[in-house]
Amino acid sequence: MSLIKSISGIRGTIGGKTGDNLTPIDTVKFAAAYGTWLKNNSTNKKLSVVVGRDARISGKMVQELTMNTLTGLGINVIDIDLSTTPTVEIAVPLENADGGIILTASHNPKQWNALKLLNNKGEFLDGAAGAKILEYAEQDNFNFSEVDDLGTITRKENYIDIHIEEVLKLKLVDAEKIKHAGFKVVVDGVNSTGGIAIPKLLKKMGVEVIELYCEPNGHFPHNPEPLKEHLTDICELVKKEKADFGIVVDPDVDRLAFIDENGEMFGEEYTLVACADYVLSKTPGNTVSNLSSSRALNDVTKKHGGEYKASAVGEVNVVQLMKDTNTVIGGEGNGGIIYPESHYGRDSLVGVGLFLTYLAEKKISVSELRKEYPAYFMSKNKIQLTPEIDVDEILKAMEEKYKAEEISTIDGVKIDFAENWVHLRKSNTEPIIRIYTEAKSQDKADKLAHDMIKEIKEIVG
């Protein structure tokens, strides 16, 4: 069991001992630290926070603890209950709230949950704010409100519908064009809130929907990370139903993957590439993704006359670089689409709207669209950490060994070779070292990853 505290929030497994897991006491402490930070950084007399959750089994318990802690601090809560991460992000500015909390452990298995924290723009907190909240949590010295000053909880249950309407208002999302395309689509909602949001959005755009694992009960039918090895059921169902394609999201609906008409993965990395290709064809400009994302985005951006930049891993880092470079679209290669015309957050609903409009406009199949992009192949691996492993020493050794190559150290170590690259970094969300590689064939990407893992193990001894 585990508890991970970082500047982006607190994430842990349910049950177990206080301080080692995400127990009720840890939940209250961290919610109180966030509420205290809000109160110390606002001139508003009465603060409000939007709180939403994915469909995890522990979600209701964690939500009640969080909301009642905030009201105990005198903060009003806008409870949007079953929701998605991008829905909460959109709700914060629409409600003129001072912040937001999403209760989700994203792609982690069902025993995990987390508090992910937003500012008054509905964006993830920067490093300084996150560090201050961690400091407050460690001090464990909170000043709660007296009885006449307690906050209130207001329930608003229609925010997924509001989110859908916001997506349909986007100029580059053409629901009429999508309707005329006559798409038939299979949706895997991994029994979380994507099973509510994605089918609703598709039906609003006139798409025939076949639902797979769309009951929001929190019992994930497969590993919730939308990777090929976890998605055999939808790949088979797309072929069986002769659907045009399949759509897969993670439990909090900020990662988006497509299955082509042949039951093959479109490639999670290529979700952003395709959406960017469409957006750039209408609104030329720059793009941003993180260091672990495919070179294909750089290629597509250059094709449209724009400039590509890479940030450190982490949504807050991508967003900041997007703002600094006036980017028209960006995101992360794990299927995260960030489209500033909507908001600065990864949003699968926005991604679906853009992708389907592009597909309808081009009048080609998903497999044909995939063939239009450079053929890169990625291998994503991990090494489980133990207390005696010194990650910094490993990274320094790898940097020194490959110093003749193009190196970036803004986030771990990325080594750019002529034909491929490798990115080594310590995860912010799990006790692991991530090892991402990309090459022009799967065999070459896998071999590069295997070689790097072997070298790391030799360093560790």
For the chain, which residues make up each domain, given as ranges? 3-157, 163-371, 377-460
> What's residue 390's pLDDT?
83
Query: Any idea which residue has 């201050």 for tokens?
Result: 132
User: Looking at residue 81, what is its pLDDT?
Assistant: 97
- Where residue 363 falls (left for φ over 0; alpha for ψ -120 to 50; beta otherwise) is left
Q: Are strands 406-408 and 413-416 parallel, antiparallel or unpaired?
A: antiparallel
- Evaluate whether 183 touches 171 at the Cβ level (below 8 Å): no
Q: In CATH, what is the architecture of 3-157?
A: 3-Layer(aba) Sandwich (3.40)
CA 62 to chain centre: 20
List C-alpha distances in Å: 335 to 52, 57, 148, 331: 22, 25, 46, 8
User: How does strand 48-53 pair with strand 99-103?
Assistant: parallel
Retrieve residue 360's tokens: 């309808």
Assigned CATH for 377-460: 3.30.310.50
What pLDDT score was predicted for residue 393? Answer: 87
Catalytic residue flag (residue 348): no
Q: CA 261, CA 246: separation in Å to the nearest integer? A: 8
Whole-angstrom distance, CA of residue 152 vs CA of residue 362: 50
Q: How far apart are CA 259 and CA 445, in angstroms?
A: 21
Catalytic residue (one of 83, 106, 292, 342)? 106
Residue in 372, 371, 369 with CA at minimum distance from that of residue 359: 369
CATH of 163-371 among 3.40.50.2300, 3.30.360.10, 3.40.120.10, 1.10.357.10: 3.40.120.10
Give pLDDT tens digits for 70-126.
Answer: 999 999 999 999 999 999 999 999 999 999 999 999 999 999 999 999 999 999 999
Q: CA triplet 385, 391, 394: central angle to 5 degrees?
A: 120
Sheet holding 308-311, edge to edge: 308-311, 286-290, 327-332, 336-338
Q: Let me know how many helices (H) and strands (E) the chain has, helices first.
A: 15, 20
Residues 31 and 9: their CA atoms lie apart, in Å, by 10
User: Where on the phi/psi map is residue 213: left (φ > 0), alpha (ψ -120 to 50), or beta?
Assistant: left
Asked if 3-157 and 163-371 have one fold, the answer is yes
pLDDT, position 68:
98
Q: Taking the alpha carbons of 406, 409, 415, 416 in that order, is the dihedral positive or negative? A: negative
DSSP bridge pairs for 21: 18
Q: 132-171 burial, b if ≥16 CB within 10 A, otherwise e?
A: bbbebbeeeebeeeeeeeebeeeeeeebbeebbebbeeee
Instruction: Give the pair of three-digit tokens for residue 213.
Output: 């694992």
* Spans of the chain below 50 pLDDT: none
Of residues 262, 224, 232, 216, the one with CA closest to residue 369: 262
Q: Which two tokens stand for residue 20?
A: 């080692």
> Which residues, 6+ apart, have CB-to-CB distance to 81 below 8 Å?
52, 53, 63, 155, 157
